[in-house]
A and B are shown apart, each in its own frame.
Chain A
């Protein structure tokens, strides 16, 4: 487990500017693909211990934004700041090394490998002593123990056997393995791309509980989702992407679901619908 220095305490529940230093922030991100404009100068702030939802219609630039934040794409212009310091991610591994863990929609698990191996994939632990240093032997027992602990920490006690192959799991259980991997290794930010898109009601609820569990540890979460009820259930703030720009940042308290969707689709704007002030 990674220790976090953030205090979960006061989460921003308003659209008012926050005085604290954002864990991750983006300024003026631009990303074009030939003549297609993916991002047209986007600002984003993620504060300690909050769940920031990123919503938007297809083609609004959600994925592009997330890819720029996690190193899968390099923005054409604009800057990223991690805890106030400029950051440059050329590869996903750079972002991961900096403490930003991403759960991709495709889950990025190796189906034939067991749960513990998947949790530690790419960061395996070796045995102590010459067995580990000379023969590079894996600490299989230790990894299994820690994997079981990581799953239990997120309230997923039902996966008793961490030596089980991932392909024998249900969609929700696979999602749980991916989220557990991110939560176990992400030290600063966790990004979840459509974590409930392929899940049923019960499994979705479990994933939402996991997101809340991660937040309660003080780790901020960026949640990309199409599902408004899910977004309104767990998000502290909602970043609305529209046509490559940020159409506004609202909260579940300041705006209703229909108002938020209206801003997202361009039926109204944040100026026309300022929402309730919650001071």
Chain B
């Protein structure tokens, strides 16, 4: 241990050595993991705005926000699961299940719009709770559980809807209300974007400022230590999956507004894109470290690359390439930060 007296031994002098600039960067990133995605976001903004000034126009930025909304919302749930050292491959499947169930009932059975939204959230929560129950009761790895429920939920959603889309015009207006937009200064903001912002604020608060959030981090960090510290690990896990499921249910509502229809083919890449946003955002795939702010930045980075590269007139495959490289870079940085020592 270090003492306040002047260092006498060589080891003490070593312990009190000045850190190299690189080590200081490592410590800074360790304490604030959202810094690196923030820098990437700023850099991307500057580069894309230079390549094509239209990128920085309010119109274009408003569009980016609308495009990012759905994946950004899903990534909130995905962050919860990844923080517990899990992974959720059933993200898109739960959205399809919740969306098609509520849309079909609203269209055919005349279920009131508000109740249809509540149903979507309830279906999502139930599906998430099922994932959580399988993970905790059967002690199966989250990867396997959600790989299985990915197929199960998708199949149920498709069977129930007969694979048919439901147009927003056939639905109660409140179901596509999330697609409505209003001006905010020079920007056009949709209700869906507002809903996503509220999601980030609410879940961000829960993660950073409540005991439940602490426990989510502790369980992902070291399950056994959390158990010995008196945390009911299984309960925390099930609650994380349940909340994530409810968030996917809310996303179903945002998606109907965004797509103008409840379509079973609306989000094919949701799983990987939500994981991408989380990882680029600096949350560790090994659990226990990361922040929701990083996920928001990660989702925006992907949105910036999509819009920026297309405005620069570059083939869309370069976006895919760039996002892939970013993912590898983000995980490499995470591994490096985890080696931090006093």
Contacts and interface: CB of A to CB of B under 8 A. Distances in A.
Interface of A: 92-93, 96, 102, 104, 106-113, 117-118, 121-124, 126, 135-138, 140, 158, 165, 167-170, 172-173, 202-203, 206
B221 A117 contact: no
A138 B210 contact: yes
A112 B209 contact: no
Given A117-B214, A158-B3, A172-B1, A111 B222 contact: yes
Nearest to B230: A122
Which has the most chain B C-beta neighbours within 10 Å: A102, A121, A158, A172? A121
B1 A110 contact: no
A132 B109 CA distance: 43
A92 B341 CA distance: 31
Given A165-B30, A168-B341, A136 B210 contact: yes
A167 B209 CA distance: 21
B228 interface: yes
16 contacts: A92-B230, A96-B230, A102-B228, A108-B224, A110-B225, A110-B226, A111-B221, A112-B288, A112-B289, A113-B214, A118-B229, A121-B230, A124-B214, A137-B209, A158-B2, A165-B30
Most buried by B among A104, A109, A203: A109
A106 B133 CA distance: 28
B217 A122 contact: no
A168 B23 CA distance: 13
A158 B1 contact: yes
A89 to B, nearest CB: 13
A202 B222 CA distance: 28
Interface in B1-55: 1-4, 30-31
Contact of B225 (A106, A135, A140): A106
B225 to A, nearest CB: 4
A72 to B, nearest CB: 9
Contact of B211 (A102, A104, A126, A158): A126
Contact of A106 (B3, B221, B224, B288): B224
B217 A137 contact: no
8 A-B pairs with the lowest CB-CB distances in the bound complex, closest first: A122-B230, A108-B228, A124-B211, A110-B221, A121-B229, A110-B218, A168-B342, A108-B225
Interface in B221-258: 221-222, 224-226, 228-231
A112 B217 contact: yes
A92 B289 CA distance: 27
B328 interface: no
Interface residues of B, number: 29
B212 interface: yes
Contacts of B230: 92-93, 96, 121-123
Contact of A202 (B1, B218, B289): B1
Contacts, number: 88
Given A92-B228, A109-B222, A121-B229, 15 more contacts: A93-B230, A96-B230, A102-B228, A106-B228, A110-B222, A111-B222, A112-B289, A121-B230, A122-B230, A122-B231, A123-B230, A165-B30, A168-B30, A203-B1, A206-B1
A92 B224 CA distance: 12
A170 B221 contact: no
B340 interface: yes
Nearest to B223: A110
Contacts of B210: 135-138
Interface string B270-294: 0000000000000000001100000
B170 to A, nearest CB: 40
Interface string B89-111: 00000000000000000000000
A221 B222 CA distance: 27
Contacts of A123: 230
Contacts of B341: 167-168
A152 to B, nearest CB: 13
Nearest to B212: A136
Contacts of A170: 1, 342
Contacts of A140: 209
A241 to B, nearest CB: 23
B206 to A, nearest CB: 8
Contact of B1 (A112, A117, A165, A173): A173
A126 B211 CA distance: 8
Contacts of B31: 165
B100 to A, nearest CB: 34
A153 to B, nearest CB: 17
A192 to B, nearest CB: 14
A165 to B, nearest CB: 7
B211 A112 contact: no
A104 B224 CA distance: 11
Given A113-B217, A170-B1, A121 B340 contact: no
Contacts of B211: 124, 126, 136, 138
A123 B226 CA distance: 12
B214 A138 contact: yes
A252 B214 CA distance: 44
Contact of A121 (B3, B214, B224): B214
